[in-house]
C-alpha cells in the first residue's frame, strides 16, 4: 500500500512539472518568489540626461567681456563674465545684453578649447538680448525645435559657466510660463524655472530633456531681493530670443512699432455682450495725447478686437502685433465703441522710449 501511495505522489509531481513547463505563468503563482537580488542587472541603467547634455553643451560658450583700464587706456581688463549660445553655423551667438553692455572687447571660449574675439552685431536692452558673431569653421550649433512649446512641469537643464568654474549643468523643471512682473516694461514674458542659475550663467542655454533650446537664462530672483530665495530663476523664451536676433541681424537694432495706448484684457463674456462675434480683445484704458492712436481716432474705453487680419485675443497678442508692425505702415484697427463696430486707420510710429535698466539680473 505504501508503494502504491508513493507511486501516486510521484505521478502527481511529474504531472505538476509538465503543467508548469507548459504554462510558465503559473511558476510565479506556485513557486514563491524569493527575495529579489539587490544587484542591478547588466541591462539596467540609471536615468540620465547625458544625451541631452552631449547634444547641447558644445554649443554653449563662455563669454569674457573686457574693458579698457581707466589708468592706462592701452590695457584691457576683464570686466564681466557670462555665457552664450551658438545658434547658427555662421557663428551667431545669443547672449544677454547686460553681459556685454559695457565691453570694449568680447572674448568667446568654446568647450573644445578654441578661443575667439567676437564682433558685437547688436543689442537690445529691453529684452536683455545681444547678438555676437565669431569667425570659425565647424562650429557646434544648439539643437532647435520650432514645434516645442514650454509647459509647466517640463524637465529642463541650465548650462553655463557659473563663477567661471567651467561649464556646469543644473537640473530643474519649468515652474511657470508668461512671467512678466520682473520685466522692465511689465510686458515681456519669462519662463520661470527652479534650475540653479548663478553668476556667470547669464546668456547660457536652458534646454529640454532632448537637448533642444528652450530659452536663454537671464535672471535670478535672488538678485532682485534681499531675501534668501532658492529655485526661482528666469529665462527668455527661445522664440522671442530668435525673433529679436533676426531683427538685430537685419537692422542692427530692434525696430518696434508703437501707437501709444494702454489697455487690459476683458473677459470673453463681456466681449460677447459688447462686441458681437468676437471672443477676445482689450479695453483701452489710456491714449497718449498726440500719439499715433490718438491721431487715428482711438479713444479710452474703446475695445480693440482686431488689428489688420489678426483677431485681438488678449493684451499680449495686441502688443505683439503692434510691436512687430513696421513704423510708417498703416494698419486697420477694429474697435467696439458704444456697442458698435468701428474701423479706424492708424499709422504705426516707432517706439524709441528708453527703459530704466533692470538690475534683477544674474551676471
Residues taking part in catalysis: 98, 128, 202
How do 155-160 and 282-287 pair as beta strands? unpaired
Instruction: Give the residue among 223, 168, 162, 218 at the shortest CA–CA distance from 193.
Output: 218
Q: What is the largest CA-CA distance in the chain?
A: 117
What's the Cα-to-Cα distance from 52 to each of 55, 89, 90, 109, 160, rounded to whole Å? 5, 20, 23, 21, 14
What's the Cα-to-Cα distance from 161 to each of 51, 85, 165, 204, rounded to whole Å? 20, 12, 6, 8
CA angle 219, 221, 227 (to 5 degrees): 150
Spatial contact of 304 and 272, defined as CB atoms under 8 Å apart: no
CA separation for the pair 28, 48 (Å, rounded):
32
To which H or E segment does residue 29 belong?
A: helix 27-30
Amino acid at each position: 500500500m505504501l508503494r502504491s501511495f508513493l507511486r501516486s505522489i510521484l505521478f502527481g509531481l511529474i504531472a505538476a512539472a509538465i503543467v508548469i513547463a507548459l504554462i510558465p505563468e503559473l511558476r510565479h503563482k506556485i513557486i514563491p518568489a524569493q527575495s529579489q537580488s539587490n544587484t542591478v542587472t547588466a541591462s539596467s541603467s540609471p536615468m540620465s540626461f547625458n544625451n541631452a547634455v552631449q547634444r547641447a553643451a558644445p554649443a554653449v560658450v563662455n563669454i569674457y567681456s573686457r574693458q579698457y583700464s581707466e589708468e592706462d587706456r592701452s590695457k584691457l581688463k576683464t570686466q564681466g563674465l557670462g555665457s552664450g549660445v551658438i545658434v547658427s553655423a555662421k557663428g551667431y551667438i545669443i547672449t544677454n545684453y547686460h553681459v556685454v553692455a559695457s565691453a570694449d572687447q568680447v572674448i568667446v571660449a568654446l568647450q573644445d578649447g578654441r578661443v575667439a574675439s567676437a564682433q558685437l552685431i547688436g543689442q537690445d536692452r529691453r529684452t536683455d538680448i545681444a547678438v555676437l558673431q565669431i569667425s570659425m569653421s565647424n562650429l557646434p550649433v544648439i539643437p532647435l525645435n520650432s514645434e516645442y512649446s514650454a509647459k509647466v512641469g517640463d524637465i529642463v537643464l541650465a548650462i553655463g559657466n557659473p563663477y567661471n568654474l567651467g561649464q556646469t549643468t543644473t537640473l530643474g523643471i519649468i515652474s511657470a510660463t508668461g512671467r512678466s512682473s520682473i520685466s522692465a516694461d511689465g510686458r515681456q514674458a519669462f519662463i520661470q524655472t527652479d534650475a540653479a542659475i548663478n553668476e556667470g550663467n547669464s546668456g547660457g542655454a536652458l534646454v529640454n530633456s532632448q537637448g533642444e533650446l528652450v530659452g536663454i537664462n537671464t535672471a535670478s530672483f535672488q538678485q532682485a531681493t534681499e531675501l534668501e530665495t532658492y529655485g526661482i530663476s528666469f529665462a527668455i523664451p527661445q522664440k522671442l530670443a530668435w525673433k529679436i536676433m533676426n531683427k538685430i541681424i537685419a537692422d542692427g537694432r530692434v525696430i518696434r512699432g508703437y501707437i501709444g495706448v494702454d489697455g487690459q484684457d476683458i473677459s470673453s463674456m463681456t466681449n460677447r455682450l459688447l462686441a458681437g462675434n468676437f471672443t477676445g480683445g482689450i479695453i483701452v484704458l489710456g491714449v497718449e495725447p498726440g500719439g499715433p492712436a490718438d491721431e487715428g481716432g482711438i479713444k479710452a474705453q474703446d475695445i480693440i478686437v482686431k488689428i489688420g487680419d489678426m483677431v485681438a485675443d488678449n493684451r499680449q497678442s495686441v502688443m505683439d502685433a503692434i510691436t512687430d508692425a513696421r513704423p510708417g505702415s498703416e494698419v486697420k484697427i477694429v474697435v467696439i465703441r458704444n456697442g458698435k463696430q468701428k474701423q479706424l486707420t492708424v499709422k504705426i510710429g516707432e517706439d524709441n522710449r528708453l527703459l530704466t535698466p533692470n538690475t534683477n539680473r544674474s551676471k
